[in-house]
């Protein structure tokens, strides 16, 4: 059940949302900076322009006042001048005050005599001969831009003004005229204030700010869309990556599982088959995909007969024919169901029972060996005691009979047979004895040489050449020295007896991963294939003489070392015993 990879998204498409978002952020930042800078620039420009306009107006009024004083203009003329100037649409008020903030003359005659500013506020404004400005609000909340400057009449002009004061008073209220004349005569500094309406300017600034806010909002919206798009694309990429990782993970699990998995559609056509199932059934994915399960694996298909979409998993055993052999399988079948509850196929999990059957057979064999060993131990103990008596009587008769007589010869035969029978009993006891190992550090080369020396005379007698391929430097392993010597000795003796006309006895030791591999091979007569299955069974032998316990004891000792032993043989070419031990240095 392998899933196809999703198509990779073009790189430019994944970078586009980032580009849009960055551009939107840059444009937004640019608009904000530009708007703030433009607003400040316009405010500064408007303030400077209004200041210059007010300064020009104040200079003109100063000149007019000085001229009027010099030519003895009437106060009515000066008042009309202020009224005309004050009628400009952007001028809110035009007043002349003393240092206490009292209005001495104004474009709006209603303000004359009133307090324009408190002395404290006027002191904070600090009017001088330099034109200054101040932005403030009127009591009604109207924003105004004040331009003001100190104004004083030179002493010579004050005298001229004082001499012609009667002319200036014509047409004006006596008290108002007296206030201005008194201030001029006393040399009091006057302050001219021009107030401009800032409402149009603030409305224009508000419109600019609104426009900037709209543009900023548009760019924020574009950036938000870019972020959302980026989030969606990132989510898509994460989902795609998750699907790919899940697919790879599932594929790797299916590929490495030691059990076979086959999936079919609702018509029982094979849709996928993992490597373990291919090994079990002997099919390939190309040959199996799309084919009917009943055509390729009729025994397996029988497991699925009569199923319905609501069936639970069914388990049973079936036989699968692979080439010339029949393989026992444990099969479980369950339906593949979608989230909506719709069955779309079947998943079969199969396990090769051949190894389990072999292990079960091995377990039964061991049980029989244990029972046989216990029985043999009992028999051996019962037999050995009378054997000692028979052996003693045989020696007595042999010593009591003349040398060379029939009685002496019969006694010698009895002694040899008793010794042979005693050896059989000893082998039985060795076979039945519990495996208690005395593990020590043993040199592998020394172990092989020791066993070789024990059979050297037999090899020389049969002209057998000994060949050893041992690791350098020599390996030191933890083994039971005596038991492993017995293993090698039995294998060497079997090899020597299989080569009566000479040959080669070969020993090869090497490391295979974490295991010590030890092979003992000969070029003897070999063993027939039908006898290999019983080669390690007690009392099984291919020789005319012998008890048939040698290889059984070898097998038992190797297993006691947590090792394994296998045999391969070709009749007429030779036999090789393969021993494997966990390497413990």
Beta-carbon contacts of residue 402 (< 8 Å; ≥ 6 apart): 408
Per-residue confidence (pLDDT) for residue 175, from 0 to 100? 47
Q: Using the predicted structure, report yes or no on whether residue 354 has a pLDDT greater than 90.
A: no
Domain boundaries 438-584, corresponding CATH code: 3.30.565.10
pLDDT confidence of 35, banded at 50, 70, 90?
A: low
Query: Among 491, 492, 576, which Cα is nearest to 526's?
Result: 576
First CA to last CA distance, the chain: 46
pLDDT confidence of 489, banded at 50, 70, 90?
A: very high
Per-residue confidence (pLDDT) for residue 574, from 0 to 100? 92
Query: Residue 280 and residue 236: Cα distance in Å, rounded?
Result: 40
Give residue-wise pLDDT tens across range 125-180: 888 888 888 888 888 888 888 888 887 665 555 444 444 443 344 334 444 445 66
pLDDT confidence of 5, banded at 50, 70, 90?
A: very low
Could you tell me the pTM of the whole model? Answer: 0.44
- Mean pLDDT check: name the lowest of 25-29, 81-85, 570-574: 25-29
Query: Residue 16 and residue 22: Cα distance in Å, rounded?
Result: 10
Query: Among 241, 236, 244, 281, which Cα is nearest to 261's?
Result: 281
How many CB atoms lie under 10 A from the CB of residue 527? 18
Give residue-wise pLDDT tens across range 300-332: 777 666 555 455 556 677 777 766 667 788 888
Peptide bond into 473 cis (omega under 30): yes
**More confident site: 562 or 386:** 562
Per-residue confidence (pLDDT) for residue 181, from 0 to 100? 61
Domain limits of the chain?
17-152+177-256, 259-355, 438-584
Per-residue confidence (pLDDT) for residue 165, from 0 to 100? 42
The backbone torsions φ and ψ at residue 388, rounded to the nearest 5 degrees and listed phi first, read -65, -40
Query: Residue 354 and residue 351: Cα distance in Å, rounded?
Result: 9
Residue 110 DSSP one-character state:
G
Indicate the average pLDDT of the chain: 77
Per-residue confidence (pLDDT) for residue 202, from 0 to 100? 77
Domain boundaries 17-152+177-256, corresponding CATH code: 3.30.450.20
Share of the chain above pLDDT 90, in %: 9
Beta-carbon contacts of residue 73 (< 8 Å; ≥ 6 apart): 67, 168
Query: Among 558, 554, 578, which Cα is nearest to 568's?
Result: 578
Query: Among 544, 533, 534, which Cα is nearest to 500's?
Result: 544
Q: Using the predicted structure, report yes or no on whether residue 395 has a pLDDT greater than 50.
A: yes
Q: What is the mean pLDDT of residues 83-105?
A: 83
Q: Using the predicted structure, report yes or no on whether residue 22 has a pLDDT greater than 80.
A: no
Share of the chain above pLDDT 70, in %: 78
- Mean pLDDT check: name the lowest of 18-27, 264-273, 293-302, 334-343: 18-27
Count of CA atoms in the C-beta half-sphere (13 A) of 566: 5
Residue 160 tokens read as 């001229």
pLDDT confidence of 48, banded at 50, 70, 90?
A: confident
Per-residue confidence (pLDDT) for residue 12, from 0 to 100? 56
Label residue 277 exposed, middle or buried (CB < 10 Å: 0-12, 13-18, 19+).
Answer: buried
Using CA of residue 365, residue 366, residue 370, residue 376, what is the dihedral sign? positive
Burial 353-375 (b: 16+ CB within 10 A, else e): beeeeeeeeeeeeeeebeebbee
**Is the CATH number of domain 259-355 3.30.450.20?**
yes
Q: What is the mean pLDDT of residues 47-59?
A: 81
pLDDT confidence of 286, banded at 50, 70, 90?
A: confident
Q: Using the predicted structure, report yes or no on whether residue 431 has a pLDDT greater than 70.
A: no
Per-residue confidence (pLDDT) for residue 474, from 0 to 100? 83
Query: Among 359, 489, 358, 378, which Cα is nearest to 425's?
Result: 378
pLDDT confidence of 410, banded at 50, 70, 90?
A: confident
Per-residue confidence (pLDDT) for residue 519, from 0 to 100? 94
3-state secondary structure 362-401: HHHHHHHHHHHHHHHHHHHHHHHHHHHHHHHHHHHHHHHC
Size of the chain in residues:
585
Query: Residue 575 and residue 121: Cα distance in Å, rounded?
Result: 124
Using CA of residue 466, residue 469, residue 472, residue 473, what is the dihedral sign? negative
Q: Using the predicted structure, report yes or no on whether residue 507 has a pLDDT greater than 60.
A: yes
Q: Using the predicted structure, report yes or no on whether residue 3 has a pLDDT greater than 90.
A: no
Same fold, 17-152+177-256 and 438-584: no
Q: How distant is the alpha carbon of residue 169 from its chain centre? A: 99
Per-residue confidence (pLDDT) for residue 80, from 0 to 100? 74
Q: Using the predicted structure, report yes or no on whether residue 492 has a pLDDT greater than 90.
A: yes
Q: Which long-range contacts (CB under 8 A, 24 or more apart) does 264-272 make?
A: 264/293, 264/304, 264/345, 264/346, 264/348, 265/344, 265/345, 266/343, 266/344, 266/345, 266/346, 267/292, 268/292, 268/293, 268/294, 268/301, 268/304, 268/346, 269/293, 270/296, 271/1, 271/345, 272/1, 272/2
Per-residue confidence (pLDDT) for residue 218, from 0 to 100? 80
Number of H helices, E strands in the chain: 17, 17
Q: What is the mean pLDDT of residues 509-534?
A: 88
Beta-carbon contacts of residue 281 (< 8 Å; ≥ 6 apart): 260, 273, 288, 296, 297, 300, 320, 322
**149 contacts 55 by C-beta, under 8 angstroms:** yes
Per-residue confidence (pLDDT) for residue 153, from 0 to 100? 60
How many CB atoms lie under 10 A from the CB of residue 541? 18
């Amino acid at each position: 059940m392998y899933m196809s990879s999703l198509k990779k998204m073009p790189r430019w498409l994944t970078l586009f949302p980032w580009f849009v978002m960055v551009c939107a952020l840059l444009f937004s930042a640019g608009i904000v900076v530009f708007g703030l800078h433009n607003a400040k620039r316009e405010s500064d420009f408007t303030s400077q322009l209004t200041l210059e306009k007010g300064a020009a107006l104040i200079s003109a009024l100063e000149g007019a006042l000085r001229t009027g004083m010099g030519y003895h203009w009437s106060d009515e003329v000066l008042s009309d001048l202020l009224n005309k100037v004050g009628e400009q649409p952007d001028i809110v008020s035009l007043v002349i005050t003393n240092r206490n903030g009292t209005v001495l003359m104004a474009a709006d005659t209603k303000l004359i005599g009133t307090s324009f500013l408190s002395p404290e506020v006027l002191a904070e404004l600090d009017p001088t001969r330099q034109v200054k400005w101040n932005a403030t609000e009127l009591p009604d909340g109207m924003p105004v831009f004040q331009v003001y400057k100190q104004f004083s009449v030179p002493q010579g002009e004050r005298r001229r003004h004082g001499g012609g004061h009667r002319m200036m008073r014509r047409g004006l209220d006596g008290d108002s005229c007296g206030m201005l004349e008194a201030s001029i005569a006393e040399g009091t500094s006057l302050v001219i204030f021009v107030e401009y309406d800032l409402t149009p300017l603030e409305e224009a600034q508000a419109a600019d700010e609104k426009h900037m806010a709209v543009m900023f909002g548009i760019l924020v919206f574009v950036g938000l869309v870019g972020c959302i798009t980026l989030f969606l694309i990132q989510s898509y990429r994460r989902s795609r990556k998750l699907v790919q990782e899940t697919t790879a993970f599932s594929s790797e699990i299916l590929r490495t599982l030691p059990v076979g998995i086959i999936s079919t559609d609702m018509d029982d056509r094979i849709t996928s088959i993992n490597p373990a199932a291919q090994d079990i059934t002997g099919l390939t994915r190309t040959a199996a995909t799309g084919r009917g399960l009943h055509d390729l694996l009729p025994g397996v298909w029988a497991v699925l007969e009569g199923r319905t979409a609501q069936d639970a998993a069914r388990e049973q055993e079936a036989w699968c024919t692979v080439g010339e052999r029949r393989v026992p399988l444990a099969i479980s079948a369950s339906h593949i169901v979608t989230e909506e509850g719709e069955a779309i196929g079947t998943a079969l999990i199969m396990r090769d029972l051949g190894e389990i059957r072999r292990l079960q057979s091995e377990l039964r064999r061991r049980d029989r060996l244990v029972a046989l060993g216990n029985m043999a131990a009992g028999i051996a103990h019962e037999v050995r005691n009378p054997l000692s008596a028979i052996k003693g009587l045989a020696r007595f008769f042999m010593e009591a009979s003349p040398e060379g007589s029939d009685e002496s010869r019969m006694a010698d035969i009895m002694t040899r047979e008793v010794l042979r029978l005693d050896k059989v009993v000893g082998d039985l006891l060795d076979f039945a004895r519990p495996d208690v190992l005395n593990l020590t550090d043993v040199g592998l080369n020394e172990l092989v040489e020791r066993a070789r020396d024990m059979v050297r005379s037999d090899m020389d007698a049969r002209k057998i050449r000994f060949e050893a391929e041992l690791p350098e430097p020599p390996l030191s392993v933890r083994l039971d020295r005596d038991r492993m010597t017995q293993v090698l000795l039995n294998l060497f003796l079997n090899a020597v007896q299989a080569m009566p006309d000479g040959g080669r006895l070969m020993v090869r030791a090497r490391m295979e991963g974490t295991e010590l591999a030890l092979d003992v091979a000969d070029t003897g007569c070999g063993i027939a294939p039908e006898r290999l299955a019983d080669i390690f069974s007690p009392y099984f032998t291919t020789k005319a003489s012998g008890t048939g316990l040698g290889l059984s004891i070898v097998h038992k000792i190797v297993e006691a070392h947590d090792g394994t032993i296998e045999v391969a043989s070709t009749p007429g070419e030779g036999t090789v015993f393969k021993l494997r031990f966990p390497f413990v240095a």
